[in-house]
């Protein structure tokens, strides 16, 4: 941000993460739903949700520190800054691995016949967002009159899925199913995270247009066309 300030950069977008909210998310009143989902919630997480007194993990701490730097530099030095706290982003050209990019990793593993490790019970829920919808949100911010914005961004309630549900959906779309095994929960792994996107819809007129099924089909086609680079 200091380099951006000295170079007189006028627009800056930061890709933050839902991990800034740490395990505070799991302190919400949640209800058991059924065998498919571990929990349900009737609302998503908005931008005013607490980031304090919770376990973020080092990854979440580093993202949160940068998140706050971007906000401060924007307000102090007049830079147009957009902070996007992203949920599960996926799409073509994403080289997902076990540690990051889980939607893409599950698709890659399914098509290549690689095993998948489920950390926890596999019923944890995320809202997914296709990458082209994310880029449209960035573009909408850059073209807007909003000077400094902080947005939770994901596919919302309509595009939520558990890990186990995604494996089932991939099987329906590809006719293949990876073997998977269970391992211990990862530290501070949120049981449920769904983005409340009301703010970004109100300020930028943005909302996701690509369903999870549609996005997965595009991702699958890209992986199938480029299998050689994954071996």
Catalytic site residues? 59
| CA dist., res. 228 & res. 231, Å (int) | 6
- Please provide residue 40's backbone torsions phi and psi, each rounded to the nearest 5 degrees: -130, 155
- Please provide residue 9's backbone torsions phi and psi, each rounded to the nearest 5 degrees: -65, 135
Q: State both tokens at 32.
A: 């058991």
| CA dist., res. 16 & res. 32, Å (int) | 29
Question: Is 135 buried (19+), middle (13-18) or exposed (0-12) by CB count in 10 A?
Answer: exposed
**Category of 116 on φ-ψ map: left (φ > 0), alpha (ψ -120 to 50) or beta:** beta
Three-class SS of residue 41? coil
Residues 93, 101, 110, 40, Cα dihedral to 10°? -130
| CA dist., res. 176 & res. 168, Å (int) | 10
Looking only at the bridges linking them, the beta strands covering 88-90 and 160-162 are unpaired
């Amino acid at each position: 941000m200091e380099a951006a300030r000295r170079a007189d950069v006028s627009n800056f977008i930061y890709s933050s993460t839902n991990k800034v909210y740490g395990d505070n998310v799991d302190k919400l009143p949640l209800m058991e739903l059924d065998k498919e989902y571990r929990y349900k919630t009737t609302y998503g997480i908005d931008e005013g949700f607490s980031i304090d007194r919770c376990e973020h993990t080092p990854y979440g701490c580093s993202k949160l520190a940068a998140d706050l730097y971007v906000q401060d530099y924007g307000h102090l030095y007049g830079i147009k800054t957009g902070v996007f706290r992203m949920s599960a982003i996926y799409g073509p050209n994403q080289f997902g691995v076990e540690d990051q990019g889980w939607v893409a990793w599950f698709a890659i593993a399914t098509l290549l016949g690689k095993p998948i490790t489920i950390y926890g019970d596999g019923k944890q829920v995320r809202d997914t967002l296709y990458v082209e919808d994310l880029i449209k949100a960035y573009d909408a911010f850059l073209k807007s009159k909003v000077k400094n914005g902080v947005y939770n961004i994901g596919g919302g309630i309509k595009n939520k899925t558990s890990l186990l549900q995604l494996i089932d959906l991939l099987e329906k779309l590809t006719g293949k199913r990876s073997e998977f095994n269970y391992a211990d929960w990862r530290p501070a792994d949120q049981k449920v995270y769904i983005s409340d996107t009301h703010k970004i819809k109100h300020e930028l007129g943005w909302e996701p247009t690509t369903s999870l099924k549609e996005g997965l089909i595009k991702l699958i086609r890209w992986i199938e066309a480029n299998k050689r680079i994954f071996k």
